[in-house]
């Protein structure tokens, strides 16, 4: 349990008040040995301010005698202000001035992330150290999904949240998770489950960055890495564990990952975690948690399987649905009707005509990924590729290098459709058109992250034409034929 004091609403500086500037509030309101003093008679009450003022003057004179240099370059009035008790309030915002806030992102943003209620992060009475991490991460104010979910998650309620790709879901669950962790209790208190190894690495990194001023130990564990290293790491304190279901379940069954005090389970990309591939592991893992655990489920798509799981495992969940429409407002979608043998030539034309910051190109099979990456390299463009059959170390290196801008183009399978957040990606190309609407939605959501503009180009063969029409109908979106010239303003502002 967090033992920090909290201001009541409206007290302290800033919209949410300040959690550290009045230590006496904490000691008085929560100390069972604190006794309220009876009110003094009126005459004595009138005399006390004078006595206080005299004692302040004496303290000030003593302080000046001990620190003669303190008067240099400052007036007596300024010194007097320095010893006034009100200075605690005026200095409570000094921490903001010390923050290393990154340069503001001035790119255009759509209302997917700008249509907020106007809340501030300080309105949620978060720990100051957590607020420092939030602002230093570059977050200015909560996005719509963060406004809806953070205060509910802090109350301990189960949540079923649906929001578009790239609108801030990760921070929507990481912030309340970090807030509720007690760093003095060296047990696993939060588990974040994700379906892919890359997403586990990304999520744990977000937690580390947001919680860098907290004393919280974050660990990531996935399949394909050394089990021995994970076992050794779990002998050290771990407060938050992010990973894939199979590996965490394996560690729990071995008795190394102790979860009997884990009060929060987060399921990111919950629909994928409830697919036949993962659902048995997820359900087994839940039995290792305490009965009064809190479950938060986040995704952009929720198939029927989610309802059955919700009815069995969530207690009166708070349902959030911000999916009035399925695709992001800032992504323009085109199709180019081509023959299979024309696809590489068409891609070459796109590279020469488009203003690409970074692009992700999707294929439907591992073999096609490697072949296409080879072709793109032969055309003279920088290109990486990634798929599930690569060694984990190689996958990690490609993901890290592409994220840091070492290469402009990445060819991949649907391994990369889930949750991967690379801000510089402004173009997605479906070299092979996906087979269903859900995959299409997640693929194009890799561009236009956090309300920015993006472009999705689909290469359509004769066999794909029915799929194209069906996906348009299911998503309620329009995929237009590609024009001879694409205006840069629709994906580069």
d(CA 341, CA 413): 20
Q: Is the pLDDT of residue 433 over 50?
A: yes
DSSP state, residue 327: S
pLDDT score recorded for residue 399: 86
* Tens digit of each residue's pLDDT (9 = 90 or more) over 33-71: 444 444 444 444 344 444 444 455 555 555 455 554 444
CA atoms within a 13 Å half-sphere pointing along the CA-CB vector of 344: 14
**Residue 321 banded pLDDT, cuts 50, 70, 90:** confident
Mean pLDDT of the 470-486 span? 89
Q: Rounded to 5, what percent of the chain is helix, strand, coil? A: 45, 15, 40
Higher pLDDT, 146 or 420: 146
Q: What are the strands, taking DSSP E only, across 83-122?
A: none
Of 264, 255, 256, 308, which is closest to residue 286 (Cα–Cα)?
264
* Tens digit of each residue's pLDDT (9 = 90 or more) over 364-404: 999 999 999 999 999 999 999 999 888 888 988 998 899 88
Higher pLDDT, 233 or 108: 233
∠ Cα 480 481 483 (to 5°): 115
**Residue 93 banded pLDDT, cuts 50, 70, 90:** low
pLDDT score recorded for residue 462: 94
Would the CA dihedral through 205, 208, 212, 218 be positive or negative? negative
Of 271, 295, 269, 275, which is closest to residue 191 (Cα–Cα)?
295
The SS3 assignment for 385 reads strand
- Rounded to 5 degrees, what are φ and ψ at 430? -90, 90
Tokens (6 digits) for 457? 């180009």
pLDDT score recorded for residue 447: 77
Unique residue bearing structure tokens 């102790």 = 258
Residues 464 and 435: beta-carbon distance below 8 Å: no
**Residue 78 banded pLDDT, cuts 50, 70, 90:** very low
Q: Could you count the other beta carbons within 10 Å of the beta carbon of residue 482?
A: 19
Residue 278 burial (10 A CB sphere; 0-12, 13-18, 19+): buried
pLDDT score recorded for residue 26: 41
Residues 292 and 218: beta-carbon distance below 8 Å: no
Q: Could you count the other beta carbons within 10 Å of the beta carbon of residue 87?
A: 12
What is the residue-wise DSSP string for 139-155? --S--HHHHHHHHHHHT
Task: Please provide the average confidence, as pLDDT, over all residues in the chain.
Answer: 80
Q: What are 336's strand-pairing partners? A: 459
d(CA 207, CA 210): 5
Would the CA dihedral through 300, 301, 305, 306 be positive or negative? positive
Residues 334 and 480: beta-carbon distance below 8 Å: yes
**Residue 327 banded pLDDT, cuts 50, 70, 90:** low
Length of the chain: 493
Residues 285 and 248: beta-carbon distance below 8 Å: yes
Q: What is the pTM of this model?
A: 0.67
The SS3 assignment for 334 reads strand
pLDDT score recorded for residue 76: 43
Highest mean pLDDT among 151-165, 180-194, 215-229, 419-433: 180-194
Q: pLDDT exceeding 90 applies to what percent of the chain?
A: 47
């Amino acid at each position: 349990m967090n033992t920090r004091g909290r201001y009541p609403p409206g007290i302290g500086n800033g919209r949410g008040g300040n959690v550290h500037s009045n230590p006496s509030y904490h000691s008085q309101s929560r100390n069972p040995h604190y006794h309220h003093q009876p009110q003094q008679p009126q005459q004595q009450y009138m005399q006390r301010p004078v006595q206080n003022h005299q004692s302040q003057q004496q303290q000030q004179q003593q302080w000046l005698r001990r620190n003669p240099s303190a008067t240099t370059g400052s007036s007596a009035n300024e010194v007097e202000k320095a010893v006034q008790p009100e200075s605690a309030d005026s200095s409570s915002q000094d921490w903001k001035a010390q923050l290393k806030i990154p340069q503001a992102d001035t790119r255009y943003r759509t209302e997917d992330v700008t249509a907020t209620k106007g809340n501030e992060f300080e309105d949620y009475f978060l720990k100051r150290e957590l607020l420092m991490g939030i602002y230093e991460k570059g977050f200015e104010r909560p996005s719509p999904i963060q406004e809806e979910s953070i205060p509910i998650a802090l109350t301990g309620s189960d949540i079923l949240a649906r929001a578009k790709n790239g609108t801030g879901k990760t921070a929507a669950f990481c912030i309340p998770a970090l807030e509720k962790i007690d760093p003095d209790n060296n047990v696993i208190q939060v588990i974040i489950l994700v379906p892919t190894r890359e997403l586990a690495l990304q999520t744990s990194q977000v937690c580390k960055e947001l919680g860098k001023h907290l004393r919280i130990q974050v660990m990531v564990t996935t399949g394909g890495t050394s089990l021995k290293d994970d076992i050794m790491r779990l002998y050290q304190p771990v407060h938050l564990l992010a990973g894939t279901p199979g590996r965490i379940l394996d560690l729990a069954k071995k008795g190394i990952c102790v979860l009997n005090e884990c009060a929060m389970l987060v399921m990111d990309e919950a629909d994928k975690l409830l697919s036949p591939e993962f659902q048995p592991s997820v359900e087994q893992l839940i039995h290792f948690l305490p009965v009064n655990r809190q479950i938060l489920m986040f995704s952009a798509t929720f198939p029927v399987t989610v309802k059955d799981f919700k009815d069995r495992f969530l207690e009166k969940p708070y349902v959030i649905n911000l999916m009035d429409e399925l695709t992001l407002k800032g992504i323009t979608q085109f199709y180019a009707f081509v023959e299979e043998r024309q696809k590489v030539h068409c891609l070459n034309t796109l590279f020469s005509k488009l203003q690409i910051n970074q692009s992700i190109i999707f294929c439907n099979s591992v073999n096609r990924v490697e072949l296409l990456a080879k072709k793109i390299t032969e055309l003279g463009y920088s290109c990486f590729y990634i798929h599930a059959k690569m060694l984990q170390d190689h996958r990690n290196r490609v993901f890290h290098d592409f994220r840091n801008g070492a290469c402009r183009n990445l060819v991949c399978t649907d391994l990369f459709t889930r949750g991967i957040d690379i801000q510089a990606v402004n173009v997605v190309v479906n070299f092979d058109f996906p087979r269903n609407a859900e995959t299409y939605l997640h693929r194009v959501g890799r561009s236009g992250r956090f309300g920015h503009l993006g472009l999705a180009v689909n290469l359509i063969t004769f066999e794909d034409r029915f799929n194209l029409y069906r996906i348009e109908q299911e998503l309620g979106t329009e995929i237009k034929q590609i024009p001879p010239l694409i205006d840069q303003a629709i994906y580069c502002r």
